[in-house]
Amino acid sequence: MAHVDKTRLAATSEDDGVMQYFADHKKVYPKAVYGKVRTLKWAILGFCLTVYYALPWLRWDRGVGRPDQALLLDIYDRKFYFFNLEFWPQDIVYLTGLLIMAALGLFLVTSLFGRVWCGFACPQTVWTDLFMWVEHQIEGDRNARMKRDAQPMSFDKFWRKALKHYIWLGVAFWTGGAWIMYFLDAPTIVQRFWEGTAGISVYAFTFLFTATTYLLAGWAREQVCTFMCPWPRFQSAMLDEQSLIVTYQGWRGETRAHLKAKLPEGTQRGDCIDCGGCVTACPTGIDIRDGAQLECIGCGLCIDACDMALSKVQRPTGLIAWDNLEGQAAKARGEKTRLHLLRPRTIIYLTAMSMAFTFMVIALTNRSTIDLSVQQDRAPLFVRLADGTIRDGYMVKVSNKTQADAVFDLSVQGLDGVELALAETHTVQNPVLHLPIGPDQVGGHRILVMAPDHGVGSSKINFILRNTTTGEETSYQGVFLGPAGAPHHGENEHDEHGR
C-alpha cells in the first residue's frame, strides 16, 4: 500500500495493519445547557418557527377574484405575491437584487460576528435544535441517552425511541406541509390534502420535504454543517483579526487542570478546570480549546456551558466568549483593546449593500405596470397586397399588471404611411389599435402592419404601447420586412393568401 501521511488525513485510522481512509461516524450526544446564549437561541428559534409555520395563513385583501394569501408563490399563474407587491416572471431582476442583498448581508454579518447565521438562524440549526429538544424531553440528557443507547433493546428503550421518531416525523410532516402552503392557497390545499384531492405533486413534494427534514434534522444533524454545507468552506474568507468569533481565552485558561489535580512545581494554574463541559455541550462534538475550527458553527453553547461550570466553583466566568483574535493577543499582553466594527471589508460590504438596496427601492417605486413583447411572423415574412402595399404580421403580448380593466393603445413609429389592423377582423384602425386587457392579465393579439413598398428591405420600427387610463407607456423595437430594391416578386414574397 502506498505511503499515507497520517497527519494529513484526519479521518484515517489504522486497524490490523490495514489503512482505513474513513473514520466511523461518532454519534454526538450534546448535553443541555442553560444561560444567556441558550435563552437567545430559544427566542430566535421560536421566532423563526412561528414565522415559518404561520406566514402562509396570513391573509391579505387584494380584491375580488385574486389570491388573499399575504405571501404566495403562485406557480400556476406564475406570480409572486408579497403583501402589496406582485411580481411577474419578467420581474426576476428584483429577486436577483434581493438575493444579492441577502448575500452581502450575510457577508457583512459574518465579517462582524462570525458564523452567527449558522449558529442561530440557519434552518438546519433551528430544526436540529427543535429535534434535539424533543429527544431531550423523551430520552433525557446526554448521560441517560448514552447509557440507554449502550444497552440492549428493552421495553423502556423501545417506547422512548418509537415516541421520539413519531414526534420527529410529525414535526417533519408539518414542516414539509407548510412549505407546500407557500405555493398554494393554504386553507384550500389543507382541505384538499385531507380529502385526497390535492394532486399527486402535492403529496409527492410533501413526502419529499418531510423525509428531508426528518433525515437532516433528526439523523444527519452536525454532519450537514461539517460535510454537506459549502458555506463553512468559504466563510473564512470574510473573517479577519477583528471578527468576533467564539473563542477560548487560552491566555487565561491555561494551564488547564482539574480542581483537585496537582500541577508541577512552578506551573501557573489557569482558569480552565478541564471539566469538559464545553465539549459535551457542543452540538458538533468539538473542543473549542483547540482553536477556531471548520466544524464550529458559532452557536455559543460552549459559552453557557463554561459559565455554568465556572460559576459552580466560584471562578470568574467568560473564559469562552465572543472575542476577536486581535483582542485575544492584546489581552494576553495585558493591554486593553477596542472593537473596530468599521473596517475596510465591512465598509465595502455595507456600501455594496446600501447601493443594492437603493437600486431596489428606486426600481420598485418606478416599476412598470405594463409590459409588451412582439414576435414577428416567420412564414411568410411579408405579403404583397394587390395594390402593392407590403403587409407584415406580428404576435403582440400585452401585460396589464394593474388591478383594473384597461384599454391599451398600440401604435407604430418609424415607417411612413403605416396602417394597423387586428388580424382577427382585418379592420384597419389608424393611427392606433385599441387593445382591451383585463386586470392582472396578459392579452395576446395578432396584428397586421401595412406600409407602402419603399424598396428598402427591412426597416426598424418602434411599437409604442400606452395605457389609456394611467398614461403609462412602453415600447418595443422591431423590424418591418419588405422586398429590397424595386418592387418585384422575390423568394420571400407571397400574395395575400401566403402563396
**Footprint of ligand SF4 (CB under 6 A):** 246, 248, 253, 256, 272-278, 281-284, 286, 288-289, 296-302, 305-306, 309-310, 319-320
Cβ closer to ligand SF4: 78 or 258?
A: 258
Shortest approach of ligand SF4 to residue 249 CB, angstroms?
9
Q: With b meaning 16 or more CB within 10 Å and e meaning fewer, what string describes 191-208?
A: eebeeeebeeebeebbee
232 vs 100, 118, 209, 226, 457, CA distance in Å? Answer: 19, 9, 24, 8, 59
Cβ closer to ligand SF4: 125 or 400?
A: 125
Cβ closer to ligand SF4: 62 or 145?
A: 145
Shortest approach of ligand SF4 to residue 232 CB, angstroms?
11
DSSP state letters, 242-308: TS-EEEE-HHHHPSP--TTPPPPTTPPP-S-----HHHHH-TT---GGG---TT-----HHHHHHHH
Residue 107 contacts by C-beta under 8 Å, 6 or more apart in sequence?
238, 349
Cβ closer to ligand SF4: 80 or 120?
A: 120
Shortest approach of ligand SF4 to residue 310 CB, angstroms?
6
Residue with cell 438546519: 124
Phi/psi region, residue 366 (left: phi>0; alpha: psi -120 to 50; beta: rest), is alpha
| β-pair type (406-413, 370-376) | unpaired
Cβ closer to ligand SF4: 325 or 442?
A: 325
Shortest approach of ligand SF4 to residue 26 CB, angstroms?
15
Shortest approach of ligand SF4 to residue 83 CB, angstroms?
36
How far, in Å, CA of 403 to CA of 420, rounded? 28
Cβ closer to ligand SF4: 306 or 390?
A: 306
How far, in Å, CA of 135 to CA of 162, rounded? 11
Shortest approach of ligand SF4 to residue 408 CB, angstroms?
58
Angle between helices 142-150 and 123-139 (to 10 degrees): 70
Shortest approach of ligand SF4 to residue 267 CB, angstroms?
16
Cβ closer to ligand SF4: 317 or 389?
A: 317
Cβ closer to ligand SF4: 112 or 297?
A: 297
Shortest approach of ligand SF4 to residue 214 CB, angstroms?
23
Residue 270 contacts by C-beta under 8 Å, 6 or more apart in sequence?
252, 253, 254, 255, 256, 257
